[in-house]
Structure 1
């Protein structure tokens, strides 16, 4: 069994895909727009003008698949109560990832040494998605 996050971007999914491709080196595995669906949605289910919006997409970020869509959240995607944890093998990579995600976002905890990691920090990106960036602790001697 595995758990894969599914994020809803309230009309900004394509922008999020491009952001994560640039910031994290994410690889787009699949994307389907509403107009490309093999079955038309029930009448009234989609707002007018949403034909080009993303119905479903899958991104590979490292070894993880993150699924996403333009899902309608009433203007506030409200990414609350969770964060995505991203581990870097070294401090330079952690600083790069943290800086890229912080661009247009908000730092919750600056990168710093902790008792569990040589470098750890928390940031919410420009879409409000929370990220915890850490460096793998070296193995105990």
Structure 2
């Protein structure tokens, strides 16, 4: 099985500015930017215009490395949790479940591991040492 750990920077409305900065400072290539408003259930969530424009996920590539940058929602200030988290990409739901369960032992579930529009199993857990991990499961390849 192949796993990947990626730094994930969480900001409070400055993600687009940070993306431009890292693009310039690191020579990073922006390969993906998604907003909260692009989520399939965005209309059902009652998001404000500001929240809809915030970045929910972005991927920047520089050299052989990736960096993820996103905004929290306006009602969930970034200062409420660590600004830099680790995103663990697992190859399947079983692997994600195992990792999530191990990390939550003595820790705290921030968001339960469950299917979401961009992953078959995604969750956030803070381990017993206060390190926040996002567990992301790759989607199976479509034939």
TM-score, length basis structure 2: 0.47
TM-score, length basis structure 1: 0.48
Pair member with larger Rg:
1
More strand by share: 2
